[in-house]
């Protein structure tokens, strides 16, 4: 279970970056600070 102050579990997630869709893998950023932001309603056309 994720806990504050503990390392995040490894994951891969789809992302939109520099005009195209790509996959982001948390393991690629090992040893670096990472901030993940998301908008649950994006691309839903609601």
Q: In angstroms, rounded to a whole number, what is the distance separating the alpha carbons of residues 39 and 37? A: 7
CA pair distance 36, 22, nearest whole angstrom? 15
Q: Record the pTM.
A: 0.54
1-46 per-position pLDDT tens digit = 778 888 888 899 888 889 999 999 999 988 888 887 767 666 666 5
Q: Could you give the CA distance from residue 3 to residue 9 in angstroms, rounded to a whole number? A: 10
For residue 17, what are the β-bridge partners?
20
Residue 31 to residue 7: CA distance in whole angstroms: 10
Buried b (16+ CB within 10 A) or exposed e, 9-25: eeeeeeeeeeeeeeeee
């Amino acid at each position: 279970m994720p806990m504050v102050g503990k390392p995040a579990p490894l994951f891969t997630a789809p992302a939109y970056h520099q005009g195209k869709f790509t996959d982001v893998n948390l393991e690629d950023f090992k040893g670096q600070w990472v901030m993940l932001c998301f908008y649950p309603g994006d691309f839903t056309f609601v």
